[in-house]
Amino acid sequence: MNEFMIVSSLLDNDFYKFTMQNAIIKLFPSVKAKYELINRGKHSFPKNFANLLKENLQKMASLKLSNEERIYLEKYCPYLDSAYLDFLKKYQYNPKEVCIFQNGKNIKIHIKGLWSRTILWEVPLMAIISELYYQLTGTKRISDKKILSLTKEKLNQYKKLNVKIGEYGTRRRYSYQVHKLVFNLLRKEGSPFFIGSSNVHLSHIFSKKPIGTHGHEWIMFHAAKYGFNIADKMAMENWLNIYGNHLKIALSDTYTSPIFFKNFDKKLANIFEGVRHDSGDPISFTNEMIKHYQKLKINPINKKIIFSDNLNPHKVAIISSFCNKKKINPFFGIGTNFTNDVGLPSMNIVIKMVQTLTEKSKKWISVVKLSNVKEKSTGNKNMIFLAKRILRIQNQNNKNKHSKNII
């Protein structure tokens, strides 16, 4: 591995980026997309940050899928067919798709191009931003020994809770080195509670199956193409068209969970193995999810909820206890609390799709995510207003008013 490259493998990315890329190539090959950096934490970037970031992106242009990596994907992800793997073998990052500007301590990033290509930028770009930020601001983290001790302590808590956990921490990791350190410990000492990582590169190194399905942008695009009311339903139907009996976890909060429930009919609720919760009060969501299954005459004991919203052992303990009482199966995707718990504040940044150019549209269409809490909503303000009006969403935070007291 080249020590000067923060991202040194094409597979150093979240698994769902590859599964979505495969689906996009097959269903929407001519669609274009735009993404932007959102600096939620109002971080101040040091001088020359943009230039160093650009240098790292230039290095990424040399990354290619190796024969060994392809063999790994064929073995562990058989639903990624040879046509897609042929595409990935030829794929190379094009830094021209990314525009980076620095004005004083502010950074602006725009990504533009074919959706099937630009979809891979978000996660490694965020990982590079995070690692560069800590390098250039001169912040000192705790020692490797302390990181391992903390990780082991958390792992032991999860073992006592008897819960299944995954690692989802690529995009906001402190560094690649810390990420690898944590992953290796989880792999060696986490069985059978540790079920894997969303990071495909590290999963390959340690011969683990990567985990994940799809992200919000998949549904956001479907809203632009088909309309807000049926975006969830169409996104799920198209997903099943590509993956059939695999990767059957539905994402529940792109346009708030009540709208998702309207789309999650008996057929889809039976087919999908479960849902992912990524915003809002997890206890309220679990209650509503169980009620929805019962209304459809589906036994919740046969279904899963994957929780992935800013988790730590304390939150997991509360959620798992509640799920056990309610007889539904919880799984937990732990992100920053695993890969950036190093004695420093973690960065609060996201890169989100903001516009799409569909096959038939002649102009760019703004895409939005409403989420279950206002703070996690993204997109053009006018389009957010329109989406809420169409979906008849008013007080977005009402159903989450208890979450601060519970967790």
pLDDT of residue 1: 36
Q: Is the pLDDT of residue 207 over 50?
A: yes
φ and ψ at 397, to 5 degrees? -95, -5
* Cα–Cα distance measured from residue 163 to residue 185, given in angstroms and rounded to the nearest whole number: 17
241 and 179 belong to one structural domain: yes
Q: How does pLDDT run across 297-312, given as a tens digit for each residue?
A: 999 999 999 999 999 9
Per-residue model confidence (pLDDT) at position 4: 67
- Asked if pLDDT for residue 396 goes beyond 70, the answer is no
Q: What is the pLDDT of residues 228-272, one digit of tens each?
A: 999 999 999 999 999 999 999 999 999 999 999 999 999 999 999
Look at residue 1 and tell me if it is in a domain.
no
CB atoms within 10 A of CB 291: 12
Domain range holding 282?
Answer: 145-339
DSSP 369: B
Q: How far apart are CA 339 and CA 203, in angstroms?
A: 15
- For range 372-396, the mean pLDDT: 90
**ω before 192 within 30° of 0 (cis)?**
yes
Taking residues 5-22, report their average pLDDT: 97
Provide mean pLDDT across the span 104-127: 98
The answer as to whether 152 is a domain residue is yes
Same structural domain, 333 and 356: no
CATH code of residue 98: 3.20.140.10
Domain count, the chain: 2
Interatomic CA distance for residues 115 and 136, integer angstroms: 32
Instruction: Specify the long-range contacts of residues 118-122, CB closer than 8 Å, at least 24 apart.
Output: 118/33, 118/35, 119/17, 119/20, 119/21, 119/24, 119/33, 119/217, 120/13, 120/17, 120/18, 120/21, 120/91, 120/93, 121/35, 121/93, 121/97, 121/351, 122/17, 122/35, 122/171, 122/351
- Structural domain includes residue 29: yes
Residue 2 has pLDDT above 90, yes or no: no
- Give the tokens for residue 197: 């990582």
Q: What is the pLDDT of residue 186?
A: 98
Higher pLDDT, 125 or 375: 125
Where does a domain end: 288, 317, 339? Answer: 339
187 within domain boundaries: yes
Q: What is the pTM of this model?
A: 0.96
157, 248: one domain: yes
pLDDT tens digits, residue range 257-267?
999 999 999 99
| Count of CB atoms situated within 10 Å of the CB of 221 | 25
Rounded Cα distance between 318 and 313, Å, is 9
What are 312-363's pLDDT values in tens digits? 999 999 999 999 999 999 999 999 999 999 999 999 999 999 999 987 778 9
pLDDT at 395: 62
One-letter amino acid identity for 404?
Answer: K
Q: Indicate whether 355 and 332 sit together in one domain.
A: no
DSSP letter string, 158-196: HHHHT-EEEE--STT-S-HHHHHHHHHHHHHH-TTTEEE
Looking at the structure, do residues 393 and 299 belong to the same domain, yes or no?
A: no
5 assigned to some structural domain: no
Q: Give, for 271, the enclosing helix (H) or strand (E).
A: helix 266-271
Mean pLDDT, the chain, integer: 95
Question: Cβ(54)–Cβ(366) under 8 Å?
Answer: no
Statement to judge: residues 160 and 123 lie in one domain: no
> Is the domain of 132 the same as that of 226?
no
